[in-house]
Structure 1
């Protein structure tokens, strides 16, 4: 199967691209609680897929860099922990509901690509993250949109 492209959003207080790059190892991308996104994780995401890492809830939301899905999707352990805010009493180890992936940092952009820049670029028309009302924390990215965002960041 061909490599897929994704955009993963995280709020500024939960995501620091510099720290991610310093760790230099895969980090869990967890606590997704939306069924559409869960289905993408469980059914479509594969190791080797590339990810645009997007920081939201900041004065200047932007794509800050690239990551790669490092392993097969697996059950999010928080769904089984009654003390977790992400606990789901309907989930069992035999029938998990929520899944997650690990993302390995690949590259931090020298020039982040802001939401405003993305909205202003007609080549990104139709990109899911730019659609009115989109609230998904993870979205698929078309190959041509991937290439455009990388070009905007000064990457190849």
Structure 2
């Protein structure tokens, strides 16, 4: 059964495959990490440190909030990622919300996004968040379905 875990060296090869896959298909995973695949491969420990830079007890710089990256994995296979923001700022109220998620292109349309969001919501509850904001583009019907399946209401 897939689970959410903190990013780790255990999933390096599968994660790198997912980044290459995303870049080849023009998916967001390859664009939003701030690293190219060669940099990640060359210095994976530095990449992991960068991913975790806003995890409490870190004090984020002005304009940022505490958050935690989580990876959806099954066995040693990376399936996708979740970003769980512990609070919101003005920008996140407009775009991003508390939870962002992405599934690697080859694993989409298999229910993993619904599962990732459900697990992220459980983690948010454990952090004491009773209500969370999850956003998606108006034309992203798949993500809208994922949100609504997990009890989200369209605003």
Smaller-chain TM-score bracket: under 0.3
Q: Which one scores higher on RCO, CA 8 angstroms, separation ≥ 6? A: 1
**Normalising by the residue count of structure 2, what TM-score does the alignment of the two structures yield?**
0.24
